[in-house]
Amino acid sequence: MTGEQLAAWVHDARQRTMDLVADLDDDQLVGPVLPTVNPLIWEIGHLSWFSEKFVLRDALGEPPIIPHADALWDSGAIPHDTRWRLSLPSRKETLAYMAEVRDRTVERLLDRRCTDVVRHFALYAVLHEDTHTEAITYTRQRLCYPAPQLPDLVGTSAADAGAGPLPGDVEVPGGTHLLGALRSDPFAYDNEKWAHPVEIAPFAIARAPVTQSEFAAFVDDGGYTRPELWGAGEQWLRSSGARQPLYWRREGDGWQRRDFDGWVALEPHRPVIHLSFWEAAAHCRWAGRRLPTEAEWEVAASAEPGEGSLRDVRRPHPWGDEPTAPEHANLEWRAMGTVDVAAHPAGDSAFGLRGMIGNAWEWTASTFSPYPNFEQDAYRDNSWPWFAEGRKVLRGGAWATRARYIRTTYRNYFTTERRDVLAGFRTCAR
């Protein structure tokens, strides 16, 4: 990418961060101490610290803007529950720091002497901020704040919002697949490095993710009260006391879900989200199905069928090489929520699977671990500390994911009990 393109992305990422917190008061920017969220006033400062640390300080050798910034915002060194007790700069001071880091970064990128190293770390910082803006979005949901007001939303069509269900499975042939990022890819995180051959047996996978109505049938059938469905997740079930998805409640003969600070009736054909890995796995047992492995998911999203096997072709997106556009996927907050699973037929994979990118992250059966040719990023905390935690891999992105970084090789990863993220699942035949 050119310095001009990256400079525009720096502005765009920072503006999205600002828009996501602009309507919140100072108390809301702090919020309660919870294990799954950060205080938002800390989080937005951390984003600027990250950019300053890796671009301005490490790549360019500049002195810190705030001398003790590492003691305030270094996520690798500051325990999570202490972030509420730090003597952080005020809101005004934090916003001024964010603006100064942004402006200095842009100035360096537009300098004709800008190096590839500086551009690499500027891109890394932009994509890091992109992942956090999604986290800020589901933090607002977790804390029952209103939906964010984003001035530049494109919106979504009525046809996409009410496209209906998409039942049935697709048969995917077996074969050899190169799992992970290629060295020729324009950018890859360390956990995607590097592509290596894996053998895939033939399998059948659902054309679409599990919907709210399909999951409601599991709940109504006593799914949360049947230990035989939970396997290793039974301990989580007992300790959590869960009897339905996190943001659901009974209303008359049916269910409602909380959408930010309001309650709405279930949308039967939209993907169910805010589920833990254990809830997804229990539904699979109830339905006589299973979760796909991440290799199966990547094959279904990026491979092409050949003569009874897989072609030696990989797509960066399910629909091919074409850059992501609104007709392909529900991304970028356009719908401010999910849409029906039959939406976006233009985004189908070569096998006819829909919604592999956007709408809802999808849990897989695979534990997050390094690939055989793993090469650690300069930002050590991106992957390495989390490999030993038994986290599970999620694929595909959600409705608040930025289009510029989501791709078929991208690996997300969360601990199995997390229910606050924008995660659902699709299933495979046993």
Domain termination residue (choose one: 78, 111, 142): 142
Residue 395 forms beta bridges with which residues? Answer: 362
170 and 86 share one domain: no
| Tens digits of residue pLDDT in 7-43 | 999 999 999 999 999 999 999 999 999 999 999 999 9
- CATH, residue 253: 3.90.1580.10
What's the domain count of the chain?
2
Contact at 8 Å (CB) between 243 and 390? no
State residue 365's pLDDT score.
99
Residue 380 tokens read as: 């050590």
- CATH, residue 26: 1.20.120.450
The answer to whether residue 147 sits within a structural domain is: no
137 and 188 share one domain: no
pLDDT band at residue 155, thresholds of 50, 70 and 90?
A: confident
| Tens digits of residue pLDDT in 257-309 | 999 999 999 999 999 999 999 999 999 999 999 999 999 999 999 999 998 89
Contact at 8 Å (CB) between 123 and 115? no
- Measured on CA atoms in the order 325, 329, 334, 340, is the torsion positive or negative? positive
- 179-185: average pLDDT: 96
344 and 430 share one domain: yes
Contact at 8 Å (CB) between 255 and 246? no
| Tens digits of residue pLDDT in 37-82 | 999 999 999 999 999 999 999 999 999 999 999 999 999 999 999 9
First to last CA, the chain: 44
State residue 154's pLDDT score.
67
93 and 171 share one domain: no
Domain termination residue (choose one: 102, 118, 142): 142
Q: Between helices 3-21 and 116-142, what is the axis angle to 10°?
A: 20
304 and 418 share one domain: yes
Please name the residue ranges forming H helices in 143-255: 158-161, 212-220, 234-240
Looking at residue 147, what DSSP letter applies?
A: P
Instruction: Determine how many CB atoms are found less than 10 A away from the CB of residue 165.
Output: 16
Residues 398 and 421: their CA atoms lie apart, in Å, by 9
- 305-316: average pLDDT: 93
Maximum Cα interatomic distance, the chain, rounded to a whole number of Å: 66
277 and 235 share one domain: yes
State residue 151's pLDDT score.
86
Specify burial of residue 168 (Cβ count, 10 A radius: 0-12, 13-18, 19+): exposed
29 and 88 share one domain: yes
The answer to whether residue 148 sits within a structural domain is: no
Residues 60 and 111: their CA atoms lie apart, in Å, by 12
State residue 87's pLDDT score.
98
172 and 130 share one domain: no
| Tens digits of residue pLDDT in 326-347 | 999 999 999 999 999 999 999 9
Residue 176 forms beta bridges with which residues? Answer: 199
333 and 358 share one domain: yes
| Structural domain for 24, as ranges | 3-142
* Helix/strand/coil for 310: strand
Measured CA distances, 190 to 35, 41, 95, 379, 425 (Å): 26, 28, 31, 9, 25
* Helix/strand/coil for 59: helix
77-82 long-range contacts, CB within 8 A, separation 24+: 80/35, 80/38, 81/33, 81/35
Domain termination residue (choose one: 142, 171, 197): 142
State residue 32's pLDDT score.
98
166 and 299 share one domain: yes
The answer to whether residue 391 sits within a structural domain is: yes
- Answer whether residue 152 shows pLDDT above 80: no
69 and 180 share one domain: no
The answer to whether residue 251 sits within a structural domain is: yes
54 and 157 share one domain: no
Residues 6 and 187: their CA atoms lie apart, in Å, by 13
The answer to whether residue 357 sits within a structural domain is: yes
